[in-house]
Amino acid sequence: MVSSASEPARILVVKLATLGDVLLATPALRALRATFPRARIGVLVPPASAAALRGLDSLDDVLVFDKYAFDRPSAALAQLPRALGLAARLRAGRWDTLVLLHHLTTPFGIAKYAALSLGSGARRRIGLDNGRGRWFLTDGAPDAGFGCRHEVDYMLDVVGRLGARLPHPHPHAGPPRLELAIAPDDETWAAARWAELGDAPSVLLVPGSGAFSRARRWAPERFVEVGRTLAARHGLRPLVLAGLDPDEQALARHIATALGPTSGIVPPAPSPQALGALIGRCRLMVANDSGPVHLASAVGTPVVAIFGPSNDRMWAPYPTSDPRHQVVREQLACTPCIWRGHAYGTPQGCPARTCLAILEPARVLEAAERALAASSPVGHGELSSVVPVGGGQ
């Protein structure tokens, strides 16, 4: 693989992933914008994740593509016309540089990313190098395996192959932060919901884990115990986040009912930014490994992230050095069973899910105390990367 010294003019960043993963790419986008301010930067994401990038000045174009329609070889063949349509759209964009922010894992996945990369027409194609993509990438950042580096750091390594670096206004600028552009309409929605919920110091409980892997869910009764204890110790009203999935909404109702009349349910938000604005009003979040963990990081809310079968060294709240970001997991010989080494693993986990079954509320409460102690008494959002905007992108 060789690097070209010419400065890119049109950069296409590929991040075909869910909300949390797209948020983790925002420091890499900031590095590209800071280093190549005259370049046109586009980002290719799934339709459901596009909203996370709304309003950010680190990019110019958001392109959408439903990658989930191509997750199985049989389905991909039926979707061939759509794939050809995507290639035509990308070539029309005249991208000279493609930045692939994905690990190359399964043979079919590698084939998909190779087809996308080569079909884009980009002369330079940069990605993570684990030896599996050298036939279609022109340059690569070393990929030592899942969890050897945090995903944010891996993505910064990839754009670093182009010479992209984050700006450092002073020697103690600190680590990069996730970015979220919160508009006035988002604040309006959050303020209205907050008033309905009673406008009191609160802990937000997130018992769901998204559709990708329900195996990441800690037991509901343990969320109830954590909520009750934080209410007793710190006077924090327990709120429960109801996700978009009906199953997660039923789970939220079950936990809120068990917590009693002082609890409340946060309804599904109209956008990631609106949910971020509401999370920013909370004193603390306790959540399973899921997208809201990264929203909390972006808005500066202390967060305790509960990990079971998934890899916390990849997906921990970022930056990991921030004491407001706490991870709780049980270290077993079999963990993690999702994203391990260079293998995809098993999203469903094992039948016993021992790593979560033996995780006691006391461990989570200890982490909550550390996160709360690290929070500034004058407001915990001052170190976040919330980008105020006047409207959507």
Task: Give the model confidence (pLDDT) of 29-57 as tens digits.
Answer: 999 999 999 999 999 999 999 999 999 99
Tell me the two tokens of residue 180.
């979220």
Which tops the pLDDT comparison, 381 or 268?
268
Instruction: Please calculate the CA angle 286-291-293 and round it to the nearest 5 degrees.
Output: 30
Return the pLDDT at 5. 53
Task: Give the model confidence (pLDDT) of 215-249 as tens digits.
Answer: 889 999 999 999 999 999 999 999 999 988 888 99
- Residue 82 pLDDT greater than 80, yes or no: no
Say if CB 2 and CB 161 are below 8 A apart.
no
Q: How many residues does the chain have?
A: 393
Pairing of β 338-340 and β 343-345: antiparallel
- Residue 6 pLDDT greater than 60, yes or no: yes
Counting residues of the chain whose pLDDT is more than 70, the rounded percentage is 89
Q: Give the predicted TM-score (pTM) of the model.
A: 0.92
Band the pLDDT of 259: cuts 50, 70, 90.
very high
DSSP secondary structure code for residue 146 in this structure: B
Q: How far apart are CA 103 and CA 110, in angstroms?
A: 9
Q: What is the mean pLDDT of residues 257-285?
A: 97
Q: Which domains does the chain have, with CATH numbers?
A: 10-160 (3.40.50.2000), 180-388 (3.40.50.2000)
